[in-house]
Amino acid sequence: MKRNIRANFIWLFIMVFGFVAIDAMEFTGIVNTFMENAFVTVGINIILAMGLNLIIGFTGQFSLGHAGFMAIGAYATGIMLQTMDSPIGFWLSVAVGVVIAIIAAIIIGVPTLRLRGDYLAIATMGASEIIRVVINNLKITNGPAGLFNIPQYATWPVVYVVMCITIIMIANFVHSRAGRAVMSVREDDIAAEAMGINTTKWKLAAFVFGAATAAVGGSLHASYIQTISPSEFGIMNSIAILIIVVLGGAGSLTGTVVAAVVLGIIDTVLQNFGTLRMVIYALALILLMVFKPGGLLGRWELSFKHVGKKGARAE
């Protein structure tokens, strides 16, 4: 018990320290808009990839539809902030996005989660494309032109705090009875059922949870970038998030954070390479995967449970 509290305090300390550090750098001007942009993008990517990692890495369900749920959150915020231009409006829009995403995830998940492996991937990708096409043809979403001049409530502190909350929530989910249940589904669903685990329910739970975080990420993205359009939520965007998950190590939350940061750095640095940017990125991606097939961290997790207690065996 004490050990847990100590570990939690270390985590809290790290998060607060990160905040203060960034704040100090902003204040002294070490971090300019450009770097802030990079930070925030990494933060939002972490939120998105955490949710996807829960679905893919922990539950073993191959979803390629993350961008669709992200779009739901983004448009909820984009649309609601047109008339409710206030912080309350923003948070309300986040909540609405999450609720709609959850409903969509249930509608999509209940039938499709029966599918396996790549069949599920294609079905979720299809569902996400359907969402995108619908958004592309609706009036309220302003069609392909998308929405712009969205007020910026998602400033970096907001993104940072939401990112921390997302990490905590997903980590807490994973390190609990629920997490063990979804992992058993990943490992062997037949055995899981035989052990009394309702695999359908747990798959859906993870899928819905992941979708909700995607919606949150979408809301933040919309309000930070202040512009959204349907083309941002296509298959390639789902893949971009998938890359973070796999590169970090499917099944490692720490890995997701590391991969998002690494990719953020690569992306930022490559901005200096003009036309060659994507060529180098592609090569980097291939090489990283060939030399680190399990992802950067495999399934390793950073943990502070052993800190300060000699010989303690945590579980």
Partner 1 sequence: MTHLLQVDHVTQQFGGLKAVSDVSMTVDAGELIALIGPNGAGKTTLFNMLTGVNTPTSGTITFTTAKGTMKVNGKRADQVAAAGMSRTFQNIRLFSDLTVLDNVRIAMTHRTRENFAETMLRLPSFYKKEQAITDEAKALLKDFGLERIGRSIAGELPYGEQRRVEIVRALATKPSLLFLDEPAAGMNPEETAALMALIKKIQADYDVTVILIEHDMALVMNLVQRIYVLDHGSLIAEGTPSEIRNNAEVVASYLGGAPVAEG
Partner 2 sequence: STAANSSKKGNTASGNTIKIGVNMELSGAVAGYGEQQKQGIELAVSQINSKGGIKVDGKKYKIKAIYRDNKSTTSGSASVAAQLVNNDKVQAVVGPATTNDSTAAIPNVTKANVASVSPSATDDGYTLDKNGKVQKYVFRSCFDNSYQGQTAAKFVTNTLKGKKVAIIADNSSDYGTGLAKAFKKQFSGAIVSTQYFQEGDKDFNAMLTAIKNKGFDAIYAPGYYSEVGLIVKQARQIGIKTPIIGSDGMADPKLAQIAGNANANDIYYTTPFSTKSADTDTTVKSFMDAFQDKFGTEAPTFSALAYDSVYMVKAAIEKAKSVNSEDIAVAMAKIKNMKGATGTMTVDAKHNPEKPIAIEQMNGGKVEKAITVK
Partner 3 sequence: MHTIMQQLINGLSLGSVYALLALGYTMVYGVIKLINFAHGDVYMLGAFWGYYVIRFWHVNFFIALVSAMVLTAVCGVVIEFLAYRPLRHAPRITALITAIGVSYFLENIMSYFFGASARNFPQVIKVHNYHLGGFSVSNVQVLILVTALVLMVALQLIIKQTKMGKAMRAVAVDPDAAELMGINPNHVISFTFALGSALAGAGGVLIGLYYNSIDPLMGMTPGIKAFVAAVVGGIGSIPGASIGGFLIGILETMVQAIGLSAYKDAAVYIVLIIILLVMPSGIFGKRSKEKV
Binding flag, residue 87, partner 2 (CB under 8 A): no
Task: Give the binding site for partner 3 (CB under 8 A).
Answer: 56, 62, 111-112, 114-116, 118-119, 121-123, 125-127, 129-130, 133-134, 136-137, 190, 235, 239, 242-243, 246-247, 250, 275-276, 278-279, 281-283, 285-286, 289-290, 293-295
Is 19 exposed, middle or buried (CB count within 10 Å of its CB: 0-12, 13-18, 19+)?
Answer: middle
* Candidate residues 8, 9, 20, 32; the one interacting with partner 2 per rule CB under 8 A: 32
Least distance between partner 3 and beta carbon 139 (Å): 13
Binding mask 196-215 toward partner 1 (x if CB under 8 A, else -) reads xxxx----------------
147, burial (CB in 10 Å: exposed 0-12, middle 13-18, buried 19+): buried
Quick check: 188 binds partner 1 (CB under 8 A)?
A: yes
Question: Which three-class secondary structure state does DSSP give residue 148?
Answer: strand
Strand (E) or helix (H) holding 128: helix 117-137
Nearer to partner 1, 147 or 164 (CB): 164
Decide: is 177 part of the binding site for partner 1 (CB under 8 A): yes
Binding-site member from 124, 166, 184, 254 for partner 1 (CB under 8 A):
184
Which residue number, 196 or 293, has a Cβ lying nearer to partner 1? 196
Check residue 82 for interaction with partner 2 (CB under 8 A).
yes
Whether 93 contacts 77, CB under 8 Å: yes
Q: What SS3 string covers 33-44?
A: HHHHHHHHHHHH
Phi/psi at 151 (5° precision): -60, 145
Judge contact between 256 and 248, C-beta under 8 A.
yes
Nearer to partner 1 by C-beta: 42 or 183?
183
